[in-house]
Amino acid sequence: MKEKEEIKRICREVIERIRPDEEERRKVKAVTDLIIAKINKKASEMGMEANAISVGSTARNTWISGEADIDIFIMFPVDVPEEDLKEKGLALAKSISDRYEERYASHPYIHAYFYDAEGRTEHEADLVPCFSVKNASALKSAVDRTPFHNEYVRKRIPGLEEEVLLLKQFLKSSGIYGSEQRRKGFSGYLCELLILKYSSFAELLRHASNWKHGERIDIEGRGKYKGEDPLIVIDPVDANRNVAAAVSLDSFCRLIDSARDFLACPDASFFALAKKKEMSRAEFVKRIKERGTELVMVLFEAPDEVEDILFPQLRKAESSIAKLIERNGFMVYRSDVSVEGNKAFLVFELLVWTLPQVKKHVGPPVTSKYHSEQFKSKYKPISFRKRIENGRYVVEVKRNYTDVVELLKNELRSCSLGKHVSESIDRGYEVLRNEELRFFEGLGSFFRDYFCVANSF
């Protein structure tokens, strides 16, 4: 009982800190209404049959104070051609924005900046064209289901908004809030569904502490999804979709672990967002020397692509390069990727990074006459000693590479890198080791997290 009361006390304390007050809610609503009115008025002036609606956390009162994400969907009739939707939708969004950026997810949208009526506070908003389909089974684009998400949650979430805020803050503190490819964590919509399922933040944690791989949640009981993801949460408006598909195994397990730790020893620190000082170059050199490993970085200009396109390619390159390294006899301990500013990089921490010239190559069994003859013919020109070991031919050959940096400098382009990463690397890249690393903005934060994660247990 004491633990339950302590959890309630902590949750009340956290909510007071992260819940938007009435003034903040009023301002966000006023700006949202202003944007919608501008879009609808401009659509009428331009002769477009389109109307704007508010979706997302600001429409459902589930945003954390100071982090209002205003999402406006511009609804077009389903008979509008897709190219016209993009062209007219973007033109409409741009026409009501003085400052904006064109971005791309499943299709293009506008990220715009607006001031409130007093012209004092700037707000950011995503303006997304979509089709006004009748139901989620008639989708013409991936974003068309979002209005149905909005309607489903909006009707059911009243009274549970604060529980959603607690979950979001808890996940943020654990570094697993957000479904983007950089993080592979829990989306806001997924958080809302989990609270709808378990009715409270604390009850969710109690269940999550016992989750197993393949945990399946189906609020409506109509799920048809057959995947094998770590967590499966059936989309109540689309029975074939897993809302938790973006959640990686590590993010899934980090929630389980954090839930267990919090329930065992409740503390407000589980909701804190630590402001970590960037690791200096001197700290990095000291840490890597203490570890006795070799850290090699492949550094290049970041391709001009949105992160959800770029990061899968970086991960693909990471995997392919790690295989190249290990095929050549070196040993990877850990690896990671990131983008900081205009720099993209892949990091490989190595247990073995230099090798002797000689390499042992094991051939076929001596008893296999055909393969033995082929093997002896192939290696006849080699001057190294041949021998028989455990019934097989063995030959000693000279390695192509004895240093991992030389390997990467010469063979990196033979790896599967992904289109945009490959194009950027073709324009030039560097392979740097340990003390050679030049610390640019953001790299210190990356290594602070990298080494903290390594030592967090």
Residue 454 has pLDDT above 70, yes or no: no
Q: Return mean pLDDT, the chain.
A: 92
- At 386 the pLDDT is 78
- CA quadruple 32, 37, 38, 40: dihedral sign: positive
Residue 146 has pLDDT above 90, yes or no: yes
Domain ranges of the chain: 19-137, 161-271, 281-355+401-454, 358-398
The set of residues, in sequence order, having a beta carbon less than 8 Å from that of 155 and lying 6+ positions away, is none
> What phi, psi does 63 have (nearest 5°)?
-105, 150
Tell me the pLDDT band of 455, cut-offs 50, 70 and 90: very low
Which is nearest to 90 in space by CA: 77, 71, 103, 106? 103
Contact 109/128 with Cβ under 8 angstroms? Answer: yes
Which residues in 124-141 are b (16+ Cβ under 10 Å) and which e? ebbbbbbbbbeebeeeeb
* CA atoms within 13 A of residue 231's CA, in its CB half-sphere: 28
Query: pTM for the complete prediction?
Result: 0.89
Q: What percent of the chain has pLDDT over 90?
A: 80
- CA quadruple 149, 151, 152, 154: dihedral sign: positive
Residue 456 has pLDDT above 60, yes or no: no
HEC letters along the chain: CHHHHHHHHHHHHHHHHHCCCHHHHHHHHHHHHHHHHHHHHHHHHCCCCCEEEEECHHHHCCCCCCCCCEEEEEEECCCCCHHHHHHHHHHHHHHCCCEEEEEECCCEEEEEEEECCCCCCEEEEEEEEEECCCCHHHCCCHHHHHHHHHHHHHHHCCCCHHHHHHHHHHHHHHCCECCCCCCCCECHHHHHHHHHHHCCHHHHHHHHCCCCCCEEECCCCCCCCCCCCCEEEEECCEEEEECCCCCCHHHHHHHHHHHHHHHHCCCHHHHCCCCCCCCCHHHHHHHHHHHCCEEEEEEEECCCCCHHHHHHHHHHHHHHHHHHHHHCCCEEEEEEEEEECCEEEEEEEEEECECCCEEEEEEEECCCHHHHHHHHHHHCCCCCCEEEECCEEEEEEECCCCEHHHHHHHHHHHCCCCHHHHHHHHCCCEEEEHHHCCCCCCHHHHHHHHHHHHCCC
* CA atoms within 13 A of residue 436's CA, in its CB half-sphere: 11
| Alpha-carbon span 236 to 189, nearest angstrom | 11
CATH 3.30.70.590 fits 281-355+401-454, yes or no: yes
Cα 22 to Cα 26, 27, 28, 219: the distances in Å are 6, 9, 10, 32
Which is nearest to 330 in space by CA: 406, 256, 271? 406
CATH topology of domain 161-271: Poly(a)-polymerase, middle domain (1.10.1410)
> Which class does domain 19-137 fall in?
alpha beta
CATH architecture group of domain 358-398? 2-Layer Sandwich (3.30)
49 alpha-carbon distance from chain centroid: 36
Which is nearest to 171 in space by CA: 151, 192, 152, 154? 192
The set of residues, in sequence order, having a beta carbon less than 8 Å from that of 51 and lying 6+ positions away, is 39, 40, 43, 74, 75
Which is nearest to 61 in space by CA: 134, 161, 187, 139? 161
Contact 114/31 with Cβ under 8 angstroms? Answer: yes
- CA quadruple 399, 404, 407, 411: dihedral sign: positive
- Tell me, yes or no, if the two domains 281-355+401-454 and 358-398 fold the same way: yes
Contact 11/51 with Cβ under 8 angstroms? Answer: no
Tell me the pLDDT band of 457, cut-offs 50, 70 and 90: very low
The set of residues, in sequence order, having a beta carbon less than 8 Å from that of 159 and lying 6+ positions away, is none
Q: What is the mean pLDDT of residues 215-231?
A: 95
Residue 453 has pLDDT above 70, yes or no: no
| Alpha-carbon span 288 to 307, nearest angstrom | 29
Q: What would the pLDDT profile of 347-382 be if each residue is shown by its tens digit?
A: 999 999 999 998 888 999 999 999 998 988 888 766
Q: What would the pLDDT profile of 243-298 be if each residue is shown by its tens digit?
A: 999 999 999 999 999 999 999 999 999 999 877 788 999 999 999 999 999 999 99
Q: What would the pLDDT profile of 326-351 be if each residue is shown by its tens digit?
A: 999 999 999 999 999 899 999 999 99
Residue 318 has pLDDT above 70, yes or no: yes
101-115, 160-174, 180-194: range with lowest mean pLDDT: 101-115
